[in-house]
Amino acid sequence: MIASGVVGVFVVVAAALCVGGPRVGAADPKPEGDAKKEVAGLAKEIVKMKIVRQFDEKVERSPAEKTIKDKARVAQVLALFPEVGTKKKPDDEGGRGYSVAYSITLYPEKGDPINLWISHNREFWSWSRGADAGPGDWNMKKPKEVGRLLDALLK
């Protein structure tokens, strides 16, 4: 699934049906809607989320790392990856070789972390739980939104 040339970083991400979506282009992305609204799905079980960036949108080295404990922000990220943690069939079950631009690790209160990897070209992504191999790769549906949100969260 994840291979080739450049150091790959693994990310853990939990699945969730989440509240609101990202405010694209916002310097400090905040969840839309009522900030006190309860986070749904697995996002409510996540204790922390670690985001690591290896490459920027020009595929140039741009390392950054941040750990986030805000459940609303976790929900924002997971809203862009609705297949995480599900048994939905991936777009490519064989997996594709690629370097990782972003990795996200979600740490649930109980159980193994969930890892999410986003390809260097931001065209596809994958996830797995613990040491298990993920089911395959999904095509990235909103690559610009994903990049803007993750970059803003890394500031």
Task: Read off the pLDDT of residues 38-88 as tens digits, 9 standing for 90 and up.
Answer: 566 778 889 999 999 999 888 899 999 999 999 999 999 999 988 887 778
Collapsing DSSP states into helix, strand and coil, what is residue 155? coil
Cα(153)–Cα(155) distance, integer angstroms:
6
Across 10-14, 113-117, 120-124, least confident range: 10-14
Task: Give the pTM.
Answer: 0.71
Query: What is the model's pLDDT at position 13?
Result: 31
Query: What is the model's pLDDT at position 95?
Result: 64
Domains of the chain: 41-153 (3.30.1490.410)
- Mean model confidence pLDDT for the chain: 75
Q: Tell me what the mean pLDDT of segment 25-34 comes to.
A: 45
State pLDDT tens for residues 83-110: 887 778 887 776 666 789 999 999 999 9
Element (H, E) at 55: strand 46-55
Tokens of 53: 């960036």
Q: Tell me what the mean pLDDT of segment 113-133 comes to.
A: 86
Across 1-5, 114-118, 119-123, least confident range: 1-5
Nearest to 74 by CA among 134, 18, 126, 9: 18
